[in-house]
Amino acid sequence: MGLMDNKVALVTGAGRGIGREVALNLAASGAKVVINDLGGDLGGEGGDATPAQAVADEIAKAGGEAIVNGDSVSDPDGAKRMVEQAVSGFGCIDAVVNVAGILRDAYFHKMSLDDWKAVIDVHLNGTFYVSRAAMEHFRAQESGAFVHFTSTSGLVGNAGQANYAAAKMGIVGLSRVIAMEGARFGVRSNCVAPFAWTRMIEAIPVTSEEMAEAFDKFRKGATAAHIAPVCTYLVSDAAAKVSGNIFGVRGNEIYLMTQPRPVRTLHNGDGWTPEALAQTLEPALRQDLYGLESTGEVYAWDPV
C-alpha cells in the first residue's frame, strides 16, 4: 500500500527536472498522475510534448497510470483544462503540485517589462490559475492538498532575480491564505523551497574555479530526486495536520522555514518623530536587523 493509493494528482512542469521526479514518486506511491508540461525552453518559449509523454510512458511501464497535458499554466483556460482532464480521465482530483517555472534573469535596472511579466505570469499567476481551478473540486469534496514551489531567491534573495523573487514570495502569501481559508473544507496548502541541480541552476554562469567546485558538490549532493518524497508526503493523508508551512529541501536535509513574525519592538509613549527614530531605531535594533546576504551565503555548507 502506498501513501497515494486511489488518489489523483496533477503535477505542473512535470516533463523535466523536479516536476518529473515528483510525478514519478507520486505514481510509485500509488497515485494516478496528470503530467502537465508545455515543453518550452528555460525562458518559456516553444513547446514540445515529448518530455511529458516520456514521463507518462515511464510511469505506465512501471505499472502506474498517467495522462499528458500540454497546456500552459499561464493561461487560465489551460489551467482549467488540466484540472478537468484529471477529473474526466481519473474521476477526481486530490492533489496539485505546482512546479512549473521559467527564468529570465537580469539585474533590476536592466529588467525588461516582458521579462518581468513572463516570470510573474508563469510562477505566481500560474500557481493561482491552477490552484483556483482545483479549489472548486477540493471544496465540493471537502478534501485536497496543494504543494506550491517557492524559492530561497525570494525567501532570502539573489541578485539578478527580482522578477523570480517577487513571484516566489507572492506564492508564499498565496499558499498561506489558501491554507487558512481551506481548513474548514479539509483543504491543505504548503510550500517547498527546493535546492536541486536542474537546468535552471545550469543556466547560472560559472565565473570562478571556486564556484565551479561548489556547483560540482551541489550537483552530486542535492538532486531533484531528493525533493520528490517530501512533496508526496505533503499531499498525502499522512500530512493531514500539516498546512500553511514552508519547507526547504536540500539533499537529505529538510528545513522548516521561518515566517515573518515580530522580532523586537520599540515603544515611545510620546510617539515617534523622524529625528527620534534617527537617534533610536538603528542602534536599538542593530543586532536584529537583516543584512544583505544572498542564498549562497546563508546556506554556506555543502548539501548532505
| Sequence-distant (≥ 6) Cβ neighbours of residue 58 within 8 angstroms | 24
Other CB atoms within a 10 A radius of the CB of residue 252 amount to 10
Write the DSSP assignment of 68-108 as a string of letters: EE---TTSHHHHHHHHHHHHHHHS---EEEE-------B-G
Set 129, 164, 233, 299: catalytic member: 164
Annotation says 164 is catalytic: yes
Look at strands 66-69 and 95-98 and give their pairing.
unpaired
Which three cell numbers mark 61? 511501464
CA-nearest of 172, 120, 118 to 146 is 172
**Is 191:154 a contact under the CB 8 Å cutoff?**
no
Which three cell numbers mark 170? 507572492
CA distances from 109 to 116, 163, 204, 261, 303 (A): 12, 12, 19, 31, 33
Residues annotated as catalytic are 164
